[in-house]
Every structure is written in C-alpha cells, then in structure tokens.
Structure 1
Amino acid sequence: MKFLLIMHMDPALWEKLSAEQQQEVFDGHDRFQEVIRESGEMVGTKALDTADRTVTVKVRDGAVTTAEGPYVPGETFLCGYYVVDVVSRERAVELAALIPDAGHTAVEVREVVHDEGGE
C-alpha cells in the first residue's frame, strides 16, 4: 500500500525556531530517510518551494488567468512529501510520527489510490 506523507510549513512558526532547532528538523529528515531506505519502504520524496513563489493557473471559458501565490490562501502551505510503500495504514501513521514536522505542525497521511508509473 502506498501512502503520501504530506508536510505543511508555517513560516511564522519556522522563524520562531532557533537555528539549532531548524537544523534539528533538517537532521531529523536525514534520519527519517535512512529509516525508510533501510526498511525498503521509501518510494520517493520531494521538497517544494515556498508559497510566495507559487503561481496559480485557472482556465475559465477558455481564458487562462494566473495569480501569484497559492490556490488556498493562508499561513501554512504544502512544503513537501514522502511516498512510502508499507504493509498497512498503521505503519504509514507510525512513519509519519517520525517526521520532525509532526512535532511542529502536522503530517497528513493519505493513501495513494491511483499510481500510474510510480513516484
């Protein structure tokens, strides 16, 4: 079973962390990746740029419009994800709890229901 472990960033919260705490988050991701690589559960991971560098595209009646910024406004934004292949939803939740972001914001666990060509 494949699951997407989705991480969200809150820039205001991130700025409140000390440089050492921020480094702990980065180091925690390194450790997490070691765990899921060694277990064979890692399919892939991606880190995404900040929301202020996003462009949202809409097509209405054939006309394309763009807007700077994310589709869903707010302080938090999607900043990255892991794709894991695990035996159960419970294991996906267990892995999500190991991601350092879970200690600051949250990690969303969502099952992949269609996977054409893999990650």
Structure 2
Amino acid sequence: MLIIYGNQELWNSVGPDEQQRLFEAFDAFNKEYYDTGELLGAYGVADAAATKLVRLADGQPAITDGPYLETKEYLASWYLIDVDSEQRAVEIAAALPSAVHQPTEVWPILHEASREAGVDIGVV
C-alpha cells in the first residue's frame, strides 16, 4: 500500500495551472499502472475538515468533527498495488507525481479478509 500525506498549505501555494498539471500526471500514472495490472486501486480522501471521529460511548456512536491535527500533514490518498517485490513497490512510489513534493510511505499488506467473515485468505 502506498500512502500519500497531504499538506493543505503546500497545496494552496501551488497555482491552478500546476494543480491541473498534477491531476493530469496522476491520471497518466493511474492508467499506466492499471494497464500493467500492478495498480489495484487508487483512493483520495476528502479534506481533513470533512472527517468525523467515531467512538463508542455507552453503547452508542459518539461522533465529533476531526481529526484534530497537530501537524500540517494528513492522510490524503492511498494506492493499493500488487507487486512481486519491495523494490518494485519503491520504484512505483518514486514514480508518483507527488514524490517530488511529498514522501510516500510503502506499507506491506500482510493479509486480506475474505468476504466470508473470519476467513483469512493468506498473505497478499
């Protein structure tokens, strides 16, 4: 899994032409790696201000606005890839258009839950 962190201040400092260029670069990146079969999914998330925190309190969901960030960076998107090696995952992470501005975390996925509850289908 490739995890990209956003920084709203940094993003706002980029002009609209550069933002459009980055969107187009991500579209090209996504197409290239979907075509190789290595990209399983790419998911962007809403701005941190749209996030809700859910806790269980007295058996009921307690919902608050959040997260309360102590840093300027927040989870912005993640990519789910299927590759043969860590080296290949690093190569793909380095090819992300955002790699010039923001680091990308590369996290191995240990297993996946199947649709049948409680069944571990192995290491991905």
Work out whether the TM-score is over 0.5: yes
Pairwise CA distance, 1:117: 3.7
Q: Distance in 2 between matches of 1:89 and 1:12?
A: 32
The answer to which structure has the higher strand fraction is 1
Alignment size in residue pairs: 115
2:109 equivalent to 1:112 = yes
Partner residue in 2 for 1:42: 39
| 1:97 alignment partner, SS class | helix
With normalisation by structure 2, the TM-score equals: 0.82
Q: How does 1:1-119 map to 2 (within 5 A)?
A: 4-59=1-56, 62=59, 64-70=61-67, 72-117=69-114
The percentage of aligned residue pairs carrying the same residue is 32
RMSD: 1.9
Gaps of 5+ in 1: none
| 2:102 alignment partner, SS class | coil
Higher relative contact order (CA 8 A, sep 6+): 1
Q: Deviations over 1:72-108 (max 9, x none)?
A: 5422111111100001011001001111121111211
Which structure has the larger Rg over C-alpha atoms?
Answer: 2
Q: Distance in 2 between matches of 1:115 and 1:71?
A: 30
Q: 90-99 vs 18-27, which deviates more?
A: 18-27
